[in-house]
Structure 1
Amino acid sequence: MKKTGILNRHLSGALAELGHGDGVLVCDAGMPIPPGPRVVDLAFRAGVPSFAEVLDGLLAELVVEGATAAREVHEANPPTADLLAAHFPRLELVAHDELKARSAGARLVVRTGEARPYANVLLRCGVFF
């Protein structure tokens, strides 16, 4: 049994399968999930686990070379906008409909219990060397 890091066996296994350039959508409970990507649904109750908790856990284990979020996050959810800006100084912002369209190409979707709007980010995996 693992003693640190992500303990959820489905999420841990899915992360181990990712490669350079693969997309990972970390999303709130209301984001429509397109058919195709593998989904690990962590949502338990509204707000649990939070987007911030899940994102922090993922960033501790993944190499991320880029990130994309909906520009609507700035007006609708300033705390999440600030969180994303802190983690990703070169965050790409697109319309929410564009983010939804791009998420269809993700390899993995991690659904959180976040109940605030536009708490979504599409990560692009990098390499550690």
Structure 2
Amino acid sequence: MKKAGILNRHLAGAVAELGHGDGVLICDAGMPIPPGPRVVDLAFRAGVPAFAEVLDGLLAELVVESATAAEETRRTNPEAARLLADRLPDLTLVPHERLKALTASARLVVRTGEARPHANVLLRCGVFF
């Protein structure tokens, strides 16, 4: 049994399969999920697990070369906007409709229980060397 890192077997396995350039969407409970990507649904109850917890857990395991979020986040969810700006200084902001279109190319979607709007980010995997 693992003693650290991501313990959820489905998420740990999905993360291990990611490669350079793959997209990972971490999303709130209300984000539309397009057909195609593998989905690991962690949502248990409204707010559980929180977007911040899942983001931090994934950032500890992934090399991220770029990230994209909705520009509306700054207005509708300032806490998430601050979190994303702090964790991902090179974050690109696009209209929410554009972010939803970009999610179609994600290889993995991780759905949280977050119940506040626009707590979504599309990460693009990099390489560690």
Q: Fold-level match, TM-score > 0.5?
A: yes
2:2 corresponds to which residue?
2
CA distance in 2, matches of 1:119, 1:30: 9
Please name the residue that 1:77 is paired with.
Answer: 77
Q: Distance in 1 between matches of 2:88 and 2:41?
A: 24
1:20-52 C-alpha deviation (Å, 9 max, x unpaired) = 000000000000000000000000000000000
Q: Which runs of 4+ in 1 moved over 4 A?
A: none
Number of aligned residues: 129
Tell me the distance in 1 between the aligned counterparts of 2:38 and 2:31.
15
Correspondence for 1:46:
46
| Pairing of 1:1-129 with structure 2 (within 5 A) | 1-129=1-129
Structure 1 position 105, deviation (Å): 0.3
Question: RMSD over aligned Cα, in angstroms?
Answer: 0.3
Quote the sequence identity (%). Answer: 80
Q: TM-score, normalised by structure 2?
A: 0.99
Return 5+ residue gaps in structure 1 as ranges: none
Q: In the TM superposition, what is the alpha-carbon distance from 1:3 to its structure 2 partner?
A: 0.8
Structure 1 length-normalised TM: 0.99
1:89-128 deviation digits (Å, cap 9, x = unpaired): 1110000000000000000000000000000000000000
What is the distance in 2 between the residues matched to 1:98 and 1:79? 21
Instruction: Return the alpha-carbon distance in structure 1 between the equivalents of residues 84 and 41 of structure 2.
Output: 21
